[in-house]
Amino acid sequence: MAAGRIAGMVTDVSTVNVRIFGAADEAAYRRFLESSPSASLYASLEFRAFLESIVPGSPEYVIAEDGGDITGALPMFIHRASEGTVVNSLPWYGSHGGCVLASSGDDRTRRALLNEYLRRVESVHALSATLILLPEEEAAIDSYRQVIRPDVEDHRIGQVTLLPPAPESAETQLETILQRKTRNLVRKALRQSFECAVRDDDAAWRFLYDTHAENLAAIGGKAKPWTHFVALRERIPGQWRKLYVASEGDRPVAALLLLYYRDTVEYVTPVVDAAYRSRQALSFVIHAAMLDAIRDGRRRWNWGGTWPSQETLMHFKSGWGASSSRYSYLINASNADGRLSAMKPRLAEAFPYYYVYPYDRL
C-alpha cells in the first residue's frame, strides 16, 4: 500500500486483525450480521451467492476481528478482464457495499477495513475501484475520504419509508403517512376490481420479466436479463422474497418483487401493464404489500437509489411517505482522463454490471 495514501492518519489500526473471509468463517459471519445494526441484505452470504451466479469476477470479503469476534466486514467483488481489473463494493445496479460494523462508532475497525480494501485495490492495479456506501455510513464519509482518497465522487438519493408499528390498525396507520395525492390514487385503485396474491409460479415470474422489459423499452431503458430473475428466485431464500401479482379476472395487470432482510423491505422490481396504469394497478399492489409488511412487523421500506435528476420518480416515492438522504459512490481511478476515456464506448461490455466511472465525466 502506498504510504502517501494514509499519511497523517491518527487512528491506530495496527491492533485490528483484518483478513480475507474464508469458508470456515460463515457461521461467525452470519452471527455478526444478525448483531450488526447496519447490516443489510447486500452484505449477506445469500446475496453474495446471487452475485456470483450473474456477474463476472470473484468475491473477496474482508473481515475484521477483535478477541476472536468479527467486528466489521467490507464485501467486494474483483473482475479481472483483458481490458483491466475493476473492483466494486458492490456490483449490480448500485448494490450497497462499504463497511458493515458491529458498532457504528467503531472508526478504528472502519479504517482498518478501508486500509485493507485500498491494499487490495492497489495490489491488483485496479483500473477503477468503487465503494457504494450505505446511507448509514455517510456520517463517516470523512474517514472514507482520508483513508482511500477517492479521485472522484458520485451520488444518489436513497429514499426510505418508516412503516408504522401498528399491525392491528395497518390500514389506518398507512393512510396517515401517505401524501394526499397518493392517498387519492390508492383510493381509486381500491375501487377497481383487482385482486392481489403472493405467487411463486413460473407464469408469475414470466409476467414480471415480460412486463419489466416492456416498461423499460417504453422509456428507452434497458431491462435486467431474464437470467437475473431466475438467479434471484434460485439464490435468495423463499422467506426472503415475495412476488405480488395483481389481477383482474384471469389477467395479471401489475406485479412487484420485494426482498426482505430483518426489518427492512427492499423495493426491487415494480411493473404494470400499460393498459392498466391509469387505473392505478401498481398503486394497488404497493398498498397491499405495504399493509402486509406492517402486519409482519417490518419497519423500513427501502425504495432504493434514485438519480438526483429523476425528480418525478423521487416525487412518486415521497408520496408514499419516503424521506430522502444522499449516499456516495467513492471512485479510485487515477487514469480516467486517459485509458478510461479511450475505453468509454466498450466499458459496459468489458465490465458488465460493474460501476466503473461516471460516464458524463469521461
| pLDDT, tens only, 160-219 | 999 999 888 999 999 999 999 999 999 999 999 999 999 999 999 999 999 999 999 999
Longest dimension (CA), the chain: 67
- Minimal CA–CA distance to 92: which of 282, 304, 265? 304
pLDDT of residue 10: 44
| pLDDT, tens only, 226-235 | 999 999 999 9
Name, in order, each residue with C-beta under 8 angstroms of 44's C-beta and a sequence gap of 6 or more: 33, 261
How would you label 7-39 residue by residue, b for 16+ Cβ within 10 Å and e otherwise?
Answer: eeeebebeebebeebeeebeeebeebbeebebb
Question: Around 108, how many Cα atoms within 13 Å sit in the side-chain half-sphere?
Answer: 10
| Res. 3: pLDDT tops 70 | no
CATH class, 3-154+329-361 region: alpha beta
- Minimal CA–CA distance to 77: which of 1, 137, 132, 10? 132
Q: Which residue has the cell 468475491?
A: 59
φ, ψ of residue 261 to 5 degrees: the values are -145, 115
pLDDT of residue 334: 81
| Cα 232 to the center of its chain, rounded Å | 14
**Model pTM?**
0.94
Task: Give domain limits for the chain.
Answer: 3-154+329-361, 164-298
- Minimal CA–CA distance to 127: which of 77, 79, 74? 79
Q: Do domains 3-154+329-361 and 164-298 have the same CATH topology?
A: yes
| pLDDT, tens only, 232-272 | 999 999 999 999 999 999 999 999 999 999 999 999 999 99
Mean pLDDT on 91-120: 96
Across all residues in the chain, what is the average pLDDT? Answer: 94
| pLDDT, tens only, 117-175 | 999 999 999 999 999 999 999 999 999 999 999 999 999 999 999 999 988 899 999 99
Name, in order, each residue with C-beta under 8 angstroms of 153's C-beta and a sequence gap of 6 or more: 328, 329, 330, 331
Amino acid at 292: D
pLDDT of residue 12: 67
pLDDT of residue 11: 57
| Res. 33: pLDDT tops 70 | yes
| Res. 5: pLDDT tops 50 | no
Q: Which fold has domain 164-298?
A: Aminopeptidase (3.40.630)
pLDDT of residue 67: 84
Phi-psi region of 183 (alpha: psi -120 to 50; beta: other; left: phi over 0): alpha
pLDDT of residue 9: 44
Mean pLDDT on 54-76: 96
Is residue 200 within 8 Å of 243, Cβ to Cβ?
yes
